[in-house]
């Protein structure tokens, strides 16, 4: 189970790597002020003067992309300063089969400046301007580029301007609740570089093996080669298995790590069965255990110890309109699975119910303070082991205050 670990100063005393000085910043206090009066608000208000401690309960989702370009050095430094004990590199590969940190193999057109560079011509689909009823579009993959070419790109906030008539205009479109204030000079990372950075920050590791956009095998590179290369880079860096939580939406990847590597005990099954395409299987209904295929117990019997669904799958509303654990959460707990939830603070302001991540409890959500109410139910009633967040300071503050 994840939990609060020693303060940064203790790392130095024990001879381990010392992380950066930590700060909650303004956001946790802002969210506490937004809470309705009650026991939760009183408890959290009493902690506002406390200093932060790093906690493994707080997981940086792509770093701290609410304000920094995701999967960059700067985004992860920000997450570490906010007390995230575990940091994420979403892993994909280049044309020369080198592992790099990107949320998807085919997101370079929205997360970098590629369409406005000469490398844009190498994209699977080069930039096409908006015309008539057609929106501007592009598709640029890491597998379109060598590692050297990838390194030449400038990362930016994940966005695109669908009405753009030029490649330069296409680089815009950032959501109003995000910012470009901290984008200048952001640095891309390889997976191996992320390992060294996270270690220097005093953090642990949760790499996600992203689904390839190319057909596998890719130039002889099989899915098993891909899964093995990810863990090989931790072994080469002498990172112990207990510090790594490798993730995948592909259950076969998780089973591969369990059956073939030393990094399988903490392998995380990212559950996306809510969008299953197999008509025989159907969609998973978090309120109906009969739809859980495989069942939670069958997952546990495979050796899966961690399961990670989106927030909405773990919560439902009772007859009184209160947020409570879903049948999905109860079944996972009954099978002894540790649960990790994703992703807090990705939805922007919650005045209109919070969108997709909160869709099962949207009727109970109407202000930003509800980020903390949701987190409280997940921590205290569902019993999650960790929480991904686009702004880890909020989760760190809550975890420290509640002494999880």
- Convert the pLDDT of each residue in 353-399 to its tens digit: 999 999 999 999 999 999 999 999 999 999 999 999 999 999 999 99
Beta bridge partners of 100: 92, 190
Q: How far is CA 5 from CA 20, 138, 206, 291, 298, in A?
A: 15, 44, 17, 38, 32
Query: Looking at residue 114, what is its pLDDT?
Result: 99
- Convert the pLDDT of each residue in 219-238 to its tens digit: 999 999 999 999 999 999 99
Domain boundaries, the chain: 8-89+189-402, 105-185
Per-residue DSSP letters for 200-257?
HTT-EE--EEPPPSSPSSBTTB-HHHHHHHHHHHHHHTT--GGGB--EES-HHHHHHH
> Mean per-residue pLDDT for 307-331?
98
Higher pLDDT, 20 or 186: 186
pLDDT band for position 6 (cuts 50, 70, 90) = very low
Burial environment of residue 313 by CB neighbours within 10 A (0 to 12, 13 to 18, 19 or more): buried
The secondary structure of residue 382, as a DSSP letter, is I
Q: How far is CA 155 from CA 90, 182, 381, 401, in A?
A: 15, 11, 39, 35
**φ, ψ at 71 (rounded to 5°):** 55, 35
Query: Looking at residue 378, what is its pLDDT?
Result: 99
Rounded Cα distance, 99 and 142, in Å? 10
Rounded Cα distance, 362 and 403, in Å? 28
> Mean per-residue pLDDT for 338-351?
97
For 404, half-sphere exposure in the C-beta direction (CA atoms, 13 angstrom radius) is 27
Burial environment of residue 122 by CB neighbours within 10 A (0 to 12, 13 to 18, 19 or more): middle
Rounded Cα distance, 138 and 111, in Å? 12
Query: Looking at residue 276, what is its pLDDT?
Result: 67
Specify the pTM.
0.95
Helix 370-377 with 393-402: angle, nearest 10 deg: 50
> Mean per-residue pLDDT for 299-314?
98
Its CATH class, for the domain covering 8-89+189-402, is: alpha beta
- Convert the pLDDT of each residue in 59-114 to its tens digit: 999 999 999 999 999 999 999 999 999 999 999 999 999 999 999 999 999 999 99
- Total length of the chain: 404
Query: Looking at residue 214, what is its pLDDT?
Result: 98
- Convert the pLDDT of each residue in 38-74 to its tens digit: 999 999 999 999 999 999 999 999 999 999 999 999 9
pLDDT band for position 20 (cuts 50, 70, 90) = confident
pLDDT band for position 277 (cuts 50, 70, 90) = low
Query: Looking at residue 311, what is its pLDDT?
Result: 98
Q: How far is CA 215 from CA 137, 191, 219, 272, in A?
A: 22, 21, 9, 20
């Amino acid at each position: 189970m994840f939990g609060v670990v020693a303060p940064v100063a203790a790392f130095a005393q024990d001879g381990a790597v010392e992380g950066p000085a930590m700060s909650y910043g303004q956001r946790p206090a802002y969210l506490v002020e937004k809470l309705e009066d009650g026991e939760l608000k009183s408890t959290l208000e009493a902690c506002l003067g406390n200093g932060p401690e790093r906690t493994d309960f707080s997981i940086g989702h792509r770093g701290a992309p609410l304000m920094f370009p995701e999967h960059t050095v700067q985004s992860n430094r920000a997450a570490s300063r906010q007390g995230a004990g575990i940091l994420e590199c979403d892993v994909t590969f280049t044309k020369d089969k080198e592992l790099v940190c990107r949320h998807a193999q085919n997101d370079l057109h929205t997360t970098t400046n590629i369409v406005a560079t000469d490398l844009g011509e190498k994209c699977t689909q080069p930039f096409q301007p908006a015309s008539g009823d057609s929106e501007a579009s592009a598709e640029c993959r890491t597998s379109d580029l060598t590692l050297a070419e990838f390194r030449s790109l400038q990362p930016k906030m994940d966005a695109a301007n669908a009405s753009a008539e030029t490649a330069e205009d296409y680089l815009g479109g950032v959501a109003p609740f995000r910012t470009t204030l901290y984008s200048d000079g952001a640095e891309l990372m390889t997976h191996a570089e992320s390992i060294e950075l996270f270690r220097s920050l005093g953090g642990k590791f949760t790499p996600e093996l992203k689904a390839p956009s190319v057909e596998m095998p890719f130039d002889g590179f099989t899915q098993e080669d891909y899964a093995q290369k990810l863990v090989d880079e931790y072994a080469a860096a002498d990172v112990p298995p207990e510090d790594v939580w490798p993730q995948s939406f592909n259950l076969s990847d998780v089973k591969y790590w369990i059956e073939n590597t030393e990094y399988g005990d903490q392998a995380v099954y990212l559950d996306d069965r809510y969008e299953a395409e197999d008509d025989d299987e159907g969609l998973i209904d978090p309120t109906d255990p009969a739809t859980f295929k495989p069942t939670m117990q069958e997952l546990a019997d495979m050796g899966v110890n961690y399961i990670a669904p989106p927030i909405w799958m773990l919560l439902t509303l009772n007859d009184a309109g209160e947020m409570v654990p879903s049948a999905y959460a109860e079944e996972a707990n009954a099978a002894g699975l540790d649960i990790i939830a994703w992703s807090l603070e990705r939805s922007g302001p919650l005045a209109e119910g919070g969108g997709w991540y909160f869709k099962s409890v949207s009727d109970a959500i109407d202000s930003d303070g509800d980020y903390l109410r949701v987190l409280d139910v997940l921590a205290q009633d569902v019993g999650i082991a960790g929480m991904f967040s686009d702004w880890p300071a909020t989760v760190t503050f809550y975890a420290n205050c509640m002494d999880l």
